Amino acid sequence: MKLTAPLIYGLIACILLVSAPHAEHLPLWVSAICSALLAWRAYLTWSGNPLPPRWLLLVVTLACVLAIAATFRTLFGREVGVTLLILLASLKLLEMRAVRDVTVLIYLSCFVIITNFFYSQSIPTALFMLLTLLVIMATWVHMQTGDLAFRPRLRIAGILLLQAIPLSLVIFVLFPRVQGPLWGMPQDAYASSGLSDSMAPGSLSRLSLSDAVAFRVVFNGREPTREQLYWRGPVLWDFDGTSWKRGRNATLQRPVLTDATAPVDYTVTLEPHNKPWLFVLDMPAKISIPADLAPDFQVLNRTPVNARTRYSATSLLSYRANLGEPPQQLQRALALPQGYNPQARKLAAEWRTRSDSDMALVQTALGYFNRNGFEYTLEPPLLGTNSVDDFIFTTKKGFCEHYAGSFVFLMRAAGLPARVVTGYQGGEYNDLGGYYILRQYDAHAWAEVWLRDRGWVRIDPTAAIAPARIQSGLNAALPDNATLPFLARTQSPLLLKLRFNLDALTNQWNQWVLGYNTERQFAFLTRLGMEDITWKKLAVDMLSGVALLVGIFTLLMLRRLSVRQADAVQALWLKACRKLEKAGLPRAPHEGATDYAARIAAARPELTEEIYDLAARYASLRYGGEAEKDGLAAFRNAVRAFKL
């Protein structure tokens, strides 16, 4: 087959489509060189100029390999491999001279398109890859069929892809799952934002500018009120004068809940954030996956969460937490760095003198925030070395981390053990999917104080300043001109419905496609009636299913081919009949081939041998059960030679 210009342009389009999604991940010089190589091949095809000599391509290839080695400092690894594949595919276009080269490029394009999953596994990525695969298949059909028009090529390519769906489904459902991907996590598995193990003024307000999903939650049964939706994350104990940090727990004692009631069951689908903490509702009692419950009730995964993680948990909404907190933990919850925030220390000492109980001290602090002109804002002024003094007495503008951090400082200065808890608060209910969506702008910080008769008690100073933040979300607590993520500002019912539909679709994709792990596979197959599932049995069932589908497809193709050949036999017989009709010997509608041949032989004895031969060949091919290729060709030649 000759390499025509349309075929070459189709191959250029294939390489362009499979390479385009990688542009944001590749070095800029690689994208520039690939674009130049594709443009060069297109120009050579348009102008009819000869391809560059092999020695020049060899020099360019070696230069590219050396440049890649210099850029990545290695020739191994995922990013290097993808870069090399794209460069080699672009270079291959410039040495393409035969059909074999076209086949290599088609296969190479199919392989490169899979590498998109290294960076993203979202629905838009999958749809783009499917569209690209359709173009690749249409180019392959063009290679096989030659001058077939574009629309028929596209239709055949679409049919081929549709025919592959049943086989793909069988392999997807039955292929034994492995724990984790074969070549590492996709790029979107590593969160660009999320809660860290430290908190400083401005850290959560910056996080609230992101509308990325943190996790989704489905409640199984009773649902808490919005004011109870505190999703516990890192607990911060240590203050160095500027920021709060987790540090290490001073005890290994297991946390204890006393008089715990009001259980709530729920399932969390946590997006990857590359940290070990799992988010649970205050206070956690049980979790379905292997995880550690720290003495401060923080739930920690055994490894960083670098893949979408699904777990069920039970929390108790009414409780007394760690009534018997060890003395070393209480001392840790009182520690403050020397020399910082003298005004705040003095204020806390005055409150302690006036308060007849720890709870009265807490109420005094909350009342101070509520009555002294404090504002809740995403854009607080910068603070100096004595950040708590500056915030409480000067700026009086801050986000949740300012209020939580300063409140805990004041409580410690007054002699009441306290700590900062970070996590998420609230959430957006998607009534189309029946679950809550927690986004990064739902990140929150609150305080816990230790009371002798109640243990650790949650105190949220933000609620004293901006109760709407807890009751209705971030958007309700800030002025209309506040800088917020688009999704936090969206109030249009139409846009909300569209967003909820898209998120529900994304959630199903995450659960049943990306989240189809060993556990889900076994559960699904068990519901289908399979028992004692093992990898060996899965492999056998998968191969059996593939063989069955291939067998059915083969039989259908053979039957279709047989019908086509039978139709060809009928067409040839009718052609012979038309020749006789022109000679005044038409065939009656009810007349079979043998009867018609007998009548022709009686009317035209000189045609006896030929007409009986044609009738016999027709009957053998039409009704003998096999329309063989050689027999059909012989019948065609006989009809062509039949003259009157």
Tokens representing 605 are 């004895």
C-alpha 337/C-alpha 326 separation (Å) is: 22
Q: Which residues contact 351 (CB under 8 A, 6 or more apart)?
A: 361, 364, 365, 410, 414
C-alpha 29/C-alpha 201 separation (Å) is: 40
Give the pLDDT of residue 564.
Answer: 52
Residue 203 predicted with pLDDT over 90: no
Reported as a pLDDT band with limits 50, 70 and 90, residue 188 is low
Give the pLDDT of residue 527.
Answer: 73
Give the pLDDT of residue 121.
Answer: 81
> Which residues in 379-418 are b (16+ Cβ under 10 Å) and which e?
ebeebeebbbbbbbeebbbbbbbbbbbbbbbbbbbbebbb
Q: Per mean pLDDT, which range of 454-468, 506-520, 619-633 is the poorest?
A: 619-633
The residue-averaged pLDDT of 25-39 equals 90
Q: How far is CA 402 from CA 335, 388, 389, 629, in A?
A: 18, 8, 11, 85
Do residues 234 and 182 touch, judged by C-beta distance below 8 A?
no
The residue-averaged pLDDT of 57-68 equals 90
User: Which residues are part of the catalytic machinery?
Assistant: 400, 444, 460
Within a 10 A sphere around the Cβ of 181, how many other Cβ atoms?
Answer: 13
Strand pairing partners for 450? Answer: 456
Q: Per mean pLDDT, which range of 176-185, 189-198, 378-387, 445-454 is the poorest?
A: 176-185
Give the pLDDT of residue 123.
Answer: 86
Residue 97 vs residue 411, higher pLDDT: 411
Give the pLDDT of residue 429.
Answer: 92
Pick the closest to residue 359 from 276, 420, 449, 443 (CA basis): 449
Q: Per mean pLDDT, which range of 191-205, 279-293, 388-402, 563-577 is the poorest?
A: 563-577
Strand pairing partners for 429? Answer: 436
Residue 386 predicted with pLDDT over 60: yes
Residue 474 predicted with pLDDT over 90: no
Pick the closest to residue 197 from 237, 229, 231 (CA basis): 237
C-alpha 466/C-alpha 327 separation (Å) is: 35
Pick the closest to residue 418 from 284, 236, 569 (CA basis): 236
Do residues 296 and 232 touch, judged by C-beta distance below 8 A?
no
C-alpha 102/C-alpha 11 separation (Å) is: 8
CA 206 to chain centre: 25
pTM of the model: 0.70
The residue-averaged pLDDT of 335-347 equals 94
Do residues 249 and 298 touch, judged by C-beta distance below 8 A?
no
Give the pLDDT of residue 591.
Answer: 82
Reported as a pLDDT band with limits 50, 70 and 90, residue 189 is very low
Pick the closest to residue 181 from 308, 76, 311, 271 (CA basis): 308
Do residues 187 and 25 touch, judged by C-beta distance below 8 A?
yes
Helix (H) or strand (E) holding 281: strand 280-281
The strand ranges marked E within 147-247 are 198-199, 213-219, 230-236, 238-239, 244-245
Do residues 319 and 454 touch, judged by C-beta distance below 8 A?
no
Give the pLDDT of residue 154.
Answer: 84
C-alpha 559/C-alpha 563 separation (Å) is: 6
Q: Could you tell me what percent of the chain has a pLDDT over 70? A: 89
Give the pLDDT of residue 395.
Answer: 93
The residue-averaged pLDDT of 455-471 equals 91
Instruction: Quick: pLDDT tens for 289-322.
Output: 999 999 999 999 999 998 888 999 999 999 989 8
Residue 421 predicted with pLDDT over 60: yes
Give the pLDDT of residue 629.
Answer: 63
Give the pLDDT of residue 191.
Answer: 46
Do residues 411 and 347 touch, judged by C-beta distance below 8 A?
no
Do residues 275 and 195 touch, judged by C-beta distance below 8 A?
yes
Give the pLDDT of residue 551.
Answer: 78
Give the pLDDT of residue 482.
Answer: 64
The answer for 266, left when phi > 0, alpha when psi is -120 to 50, beta otherwise, is: beta
Residue 627 predicted with pLDDT over 60: no
Q: Could you tell me what percent of the chain has a pLDDT over 90? A: 35
Residue 488 predicted with pLDDT over 60: no
For all residues of the chain together, what is the average pLDDT?
A: 85
Tokens representing 636 are 């065609």
Helix (H) or strand (E) holding 292: strand 291-293
The residue-averaged pLDDT of 156-164 equals 86
